[in-house]
A and B are shown apart, each in its own frame.
Chain A
Amino acid sequence: MEIIKNMYELNIEIKKKLFPLKTQNKQGENLIFKNLNFTIKKGQFVSFFGPSGCGKTTLLNIISGLDKDFDGQISRYDKASDISYMFQTPRLFPWLTAIENIKYPIKENKNSEKIANYLLKKIGLEKYKNQYPNRLSGGMQRRVAMARAFAPNPNILLLDEPFISIDKKITNSLRKLLIQLWRKNKPIIIFVTHDLDEAIELADRIVFLSNLPSKILLDYKVNLARPRNQNSKNFISLKRLLSSSTRTIKAKKP
């Protein structure tokens, strides 16, 4: 038996994860993870950084419990702790209005209306309360998706490159909003990205993943004060340090 030292600590132990491959009628299997182990402390903001196709989304699907087809186990301090997930695409229900979408994960009680309204205000879409997602712009849809992800007040929140392919200006405001919402109740955040700037700007800790089969190259604790400015001296030198050290690690490991 393992002794769990920290409250809400999340333990991830993936012995093996295969992914079925179908190419030109040939069936094969791709080894995605082998012996990937790590733990996350309560309230920690962790970024997983790695090249496209290194299994970042698969990792989140495993942690969320949506993908159960792997060898190993995910253990949480509190089995009943709420998990929430902001997907790469907004995945809003098109037949529900903005407010109804935000309310969806909240367990029905007197406060659900209040919580949803609070989040709607935070994302600045009060005017669009009763609009359907089809009538919202891409950036607005992401904001609603972010509000929905925070709505159940999760202990663990997973984010899968949520700001990919949107306007830089909007991305910046969304990142600020994310930090703001995270600070309120401090869930564990696991944020997956292939943008190093984004990882450094947001995370307490950055885990660098390699190409397939994916391994942890480097597990780095970020000690920059928030809010972080991508043009500041410290930021730029840290970025240089991280890129060069991961490059040398990659070169050493065949």
Chain B
Amino acid sequence: MSNLLKNGLFRRLVSILLLLVIWGFVSKLVGDKVILPSPNDVLESIKYHISEDLFHHVYITLLRVFTAFFLAMIIGSAIGIVMGRKKKLDDYFDGWLILALNVPALVTIILCFIWFGLNEVAAVLAVAINKIPTVTVILREGTKAIDEKLVQVGKLYNKSRFEIIKNIIVPQLFPYFISAARSGLALIWKIVLVVELLGRSNGVGFKINEFFSMFDTTSILAYTLVFVLIIMSIEWFLVKPTEKRLTEWRL
């Protein structure tokens, strides 16, 4: 046992099991499904919803998450890199950026629905707009930290502009892309649920609103758990390995 505890993975497993035990114990104490259903109830509920339309709604939500995510990453990075490179533009637009960072997500969502109607474009756009400023800030800092001396090496050996960007600038920005992506994914899926709750008739957020009106806590937890697991797998099986492969040169 003490040997097993030395294994990091095993410790993580123990910690998750412990959480389940505490959850089960508390739900027994409470004894009311509306307030806290037991892990077993939730598992049954997941099985039931899978046989119904859970994956359909999860799929729709994931589609929105990824569209908004890539939109925000591309636009936010572009603005951030330009602001990092051009001091004048940075001076002009820094104030706007701070403003944009501080507009509450709810406000952008509602405004988008008012301006563009209750449709898919408005939904995705609202989410992306919420995320763009944070991506911009991270990439702006990354761009400012680019080592000009390394860029000079590329220039010295007559490398083209494209080669310099690809082989010298992007590798230096990589840790910043990863950090923006990681915080982005976590933030975006939460905002997508709010958007769905407010103005869509499908997706996880819509379903949660439906369960809320019926006080069906078990189903709410079932949907949440499935979705959280999917987002966590993306982090574990996609983001982390990519990061490891591309930043192994750091100590």
Contacts and interface: CB of A to CB of B under 8 A. Distances in A.
Interface of A: 64-66, 83-85, 87, 89, 91, 93-96, 104-105, 132-135, 152
Interface string B33-74: 000000000000000000000000000000000000000000
A134 B156 CA distance: 23
Given A134-B250, A134-B251, A135-B251, A93 B150 contact: yes
B171 A95 contact: yes
Interface in B118-168: 149-150, 152-153, 155-157, 167-168
A83 B156 contact: yes
A241 to B, nearest CB: 37
A152 B157 contact: yes
Nearest to B174: A95
B157 A94 contact: no
B250 A66 contact: no
Contacts of B150: 91, 93
Contacts of A135: 251
A30 to B, nearest CB: 21
Interface of B: 149-150, 152-153, 155-157, 167-168, 171, 248-251
A64 B156 contact: yes
A64 B152 CA distance: 10
A95 B149 CA distance: 15
A105 B157 contact: yes
Given A93-B167, A95-B249, A104-B157, 10 more contacts: A87-B149, A89-B149, A91-B153, A95-B171, A104-B153, A132-B248, A132-B249, A134-B249, A134-B250, A135-B251
Contacts of A83: 156
6 contacts: A87-B153, A95-B249, A96-B249, A105-B157, A132-B249, A135-B251
Contacts of B152: 66, 91
A93 B45 CA distance: 53
Contacts of B249: 94-96, 132-134
A91 B250 contact: no
Contact of A91 (B149, B167, B171, B251): B149
Contact of B155 (A66, A84, A134): A66
B171 to A, nearest CB: 5
A66 B152 CA distance: 7
A84 B156 CA distance: 7
Contact of A85 (B156, B168, B248): B156
A64 B249 CA distance: 29
A89 B149 CA distance: 10
Nearest to B246: A95
Contact of A94 (B155, B156, B250): B250
B126 to A, nearest CB: 37
By Cβ-Cβ distance, the 10 closest A-B pairs, closest first, are A132-B249, A105-B157, A95-B249, A95-B171, A134-B251, A94-B249, A85-B156, A66-B152, A91-B153, A91-B149
A73 B63 CA distance: 59
B145 to A, nearest CB: 13
Contacts of A89: 149
A91 to B, nearest CB: 6
A50 to B, nearest CB: 22
A93 B155 contact: no
Nearest to B153: A91
Nearest to B147: A91
A94 B250 CA distance: 8
User: Which of A93, A134, A152 counts the most B-chain CB atoms under 10 A from its CB?
Assistant: A93
A85 B168 CA distance: 17
Contacts of A85: 156
A83 B168 CA distance: 20
Nearest to B247: A95
A109 to B, nearest CB: 15
Contacts of A132: 248-249
Contacts of A93: 150, 153, 167-168, 171
Contacts of A65: 156
A92 B167 CA distance: 13
Name the residue in B168, B248, B249, B251 with the highest tally of chain A Cβ atoms < 10 Å from its Cβ: B249
Contacts of B167: 93
Contacts of B157: 84, 104-105, 152
